[in-house]
């Protein structure tokens, strides 16, 4: 599959087009199954059903992770950004499906996400999770950024016309992950959204492959690659 390209395609279909052991690093954030739009916060997701039955959602995520495992090189890593959720009084953790895959869980990082809006009926969730997953338990990173396992990436900004993508994660998140994996030459994001991973890869001279099912966001991501800098 062509490098340095954002392909308008479903994540599973895109992953199946990749060769075994062809990717050095995956950085991604899938829909959370919150019952609203993963990209815009509206009630209906444009491309992915973000209101699946929980069992169906977890099966889908296992399928995604299994394909990610297949395409990663033996030394490769997956940076998988997600969050704990509460449904019907029970807490749901990504560990519930990560444990069902072949991945080794190397570390869980807490992300202090200050971008969230407050509401009037609860203490608004302030943290999300970043899971470092590997094919081999021997895989290491190089902590050149001198970080602990709690990150305060505070750079959420809307992207696109009238802020059409309100959930574009911070550039610094991607830049930090690329920095600690200096030998990662080919980077994949199967849920590319508005293109942050691609844009930072472009800036840091890494090859990338992106999949985005939503035509609007795929177009937006390609436009961002032509920009001089990310949030100019």
Q: Among all chains, which residue has been given the structure tokens 């699946």?
A: 52
What is the number of H-type helices and E-type strands within the chain? 6, 10
Return the number of other C-beta atoms located less than 10 Å from residue 227's C-beta: 12
Contacts of 67 (CB under 8 A, 6+ apart): 12, 15, 16
Q: Which of 157, 159, 130, 175 is nearest to 221 (CA)?
A: 159
Over residues 61-82, the mean pLDDT reads 98
- The whole-model pTM stands at 0.88
CATH code assigned at 87: 3.40.50.150
Domain assignment of residue 86, yes or no = yes
In a domain, 8, yes or no: no
pLDDT of 120: 75
pLDDT of 166 reads: 46
Give the model confidence (pLDDT) of 116-146 as tens digits: 566 677 777 788 999 999 999 999 999 999 9
Residue 138 lies in a domain: yes
The whole domain housing 56 covers 21-186
Question: How much is the pLDDT for 122?
Answer: 75
The pLDDT-based confidence of 193 (bands split at 50, 70, 90) is: very high
On whether residue 57 sits in a domain, the answer given is yes
Residue 5, both tokens: 């390209």
pLDDT at 155: 58
Kindly report which listed range (57-71, 83-97, 112-126, 203-217) carries the lowest average pLDDT score.
Answer: 112-126
* 36 pLDDT above the threshold of 70: no
Overall number of domains in the chain: 1
- Residue 218 within any structural domain of the chain: no
The answer to the question of residue 198 being in a domain is no
Task: Enumerate the β-bridge partners of residue 217.
Answer: none
Tell whether 191 is covered by a domain: no
pLDDT category at 68 given cuts 50, 70, 90 is very high
What is the average per-residue pLDDT within 180-208? 97
Please tell me the predicted confidence (pLDDT) of residue 90.
85
Token pair belonging to 155: 């750079």
């Amino acid at each position: 599959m062509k490098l340095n390209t954002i392909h308008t395609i479903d994540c599973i279909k895109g992953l199946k087009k990749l060769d075994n052991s062809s990717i050095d690093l995956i950085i991604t954030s899938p829909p959370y199954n919150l019952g609203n739009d993963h990209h815009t916060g509206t009630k209906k997701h444009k491309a992915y059903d973000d209101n699946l039955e929980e069992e169906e959602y977890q099966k889908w995520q296992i399928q995604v992770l299994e394909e990610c495992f297949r395409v990663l090189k033996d030394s490769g890593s997956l940076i998988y950004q997600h969050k704990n959720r509460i449904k019907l009084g029970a807490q749901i953790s990504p560990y519930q499906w990560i444990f069902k895959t072949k991945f080794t869980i190397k570390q869980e990082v807490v992300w202090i996400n200050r971008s969230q809006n407050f509401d009037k009926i609860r203490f608004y969730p302030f943290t999300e999770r970043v899971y470092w997953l590997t094919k081999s338990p021997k895989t290491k990173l190089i902590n050149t950024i001198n970080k602990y396992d709690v990150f305060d990436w505070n750079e959420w900004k809307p992207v696109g016309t009238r802020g059409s993508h309100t959930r574009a994660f911070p550039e610094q998140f991607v830049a930090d992950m690329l920095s600690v994996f200096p030998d990662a030459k080919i980077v994949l994001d199967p849920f590319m959204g508005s293109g942050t991973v691609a844009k930072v890869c472009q800036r840091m001279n890494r090859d990338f492959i992106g999949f985005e099912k939503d035509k609007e966001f795929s177009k937006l991501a390609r436009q961002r690659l032509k920009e001089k800098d990310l949030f100019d």
